[in-house]
Structure 1
Amino acid sequence: MQFGMHGSLEQHGFARNTVWTIDKDPPPFPTVSSNKAFIDLMLKPSEDDPKSWPHRFEFRIRIALGPGGDLMLTSRIRNTNTDGKPFTFTFAYNNYFYLTDISEVRIEGLETLDYLDNLKDRDRVTEQGDAITFESEVDKVYLKTPTKIAILDHERKRTYVLRKDGLPDAVVWNPWDKRAKAIVDLGDEEYKHMLMVGAACVEKPITLKPGEEWKGRQELSAVPSSYCSGQLDPHKALRLG
């Protein structure tokens, strides 16, 4: 997750590097059926927060796991400043998918969309082709994306489905061979078996006034079916609750 990509904050924000606590008194979340396991976590400001983020906030997240293995993440961020000041932030879930072979993978749902190319100083480009495939390093932020994106692993005959709400963008990243060698916690050949695709809000940062709250949701599921013309088998596809 990314929280606050502004000013001197580190690239992926500070929320991922801080200690969360169990939220014992969460506000009402979307209904979770009795056959789902879930946990509520909370992040609040502490003395260890960077001086570059001089705001008070409450960041709540519910992590729910369904019986079929579908994973639902619901995030809420509230401005709790008492000085009347708003704050602005960007947000992303970083989902790393384990794949058989990156050269045999494609993404559907992002074709013909505009994206920001982080390898070219965030140049805005329009995607070409019928689907997204991979043959070199990729670091893109796709804009105004649909609520459903599919990652197809042809060799495994598995489709990962990402559904989202409140997160208009999508980040796609694979370091490929040269950059993978410079990443200490990634093996030189492991780029062949991974892909990061995450729901995000990057192009238009979110601004909250004191007392205001933002909410974003993401659901991940895997189905043993192919993704064709933007429609999954309705009996196998999982819906946002």
Structure 2
Amino acid sequence: MAKKEESVKLLGFLISPFSRRVEMALKIKGVPYEYLEEDLPKKSNLLLELNPVHKKVPVLVHNEKILSESHLVLNTFLINNVILEYIDQTWNNNPILPQDPYEKAMARFWAKFVDEQILPVGFMPLVKAEKGIDVAIEEIREMLMFLEKEVTGKDFFGRKTIGFLDMVAGSILIPFCLTRAWECMGIDMTPEDTFPELNRWIKKLNEVEIVRECIPPKDKHIERMNKIVERAKST
């Protein structure tokens, strides 16, 4: 548990999966923190002060130590989840990463796969699918099938309890799948007959109270996705 004299603040954005996963980690660790919601189109002076280079969220401030990570370079997500690892190493209770060196390496491997392979080929390519929307859908499903196989036979990616990879993948897939965000384009991206294990995992993960507390409301998520569609179609 965080000590009384500790100060923990998180600057985030409700619809940002990167913010959601950091909140999950703090809640699982039982760390008291102050959450500051950012209006990204109108970045606050505090955000610009704390993260002047990338001007993105999440930003974690722990006893005046500042950590930030998410940013875009040439439309490619570069996320190394340093905040999650910092939280895990700072508060030792309820470990997020596996203790076994091999399992820890594999959790990092698959988290990198989710952020660098699945996320960039997710929603936006469907809106502006140059090769055709059917091809784009198939490419995304091929990526998701790797996760389908990885979670087969497990309660969670972290086996009996949620862990690092559950937070990374869950922060992206739970909002999309539970809110059926793809349906605004008439698409069922994760049909249960094709992805029975992923759907089972998503439902089980959503049963965890801490996870539910960190997932954006359906209406907010759909609203955000509709804005992305409209913006993409106009460019």
Q: Same fold (TM over 0.5)?
A: no
| Greater helix fraction, Structure 1 or Structure 2 | 2
Q: Identify, as 1 or 2, the structure richer in strand.
A: 1
The TM-score range, normalised by the shorter chain, is under 0.3
* TM value normalised by structure 2: 0.26
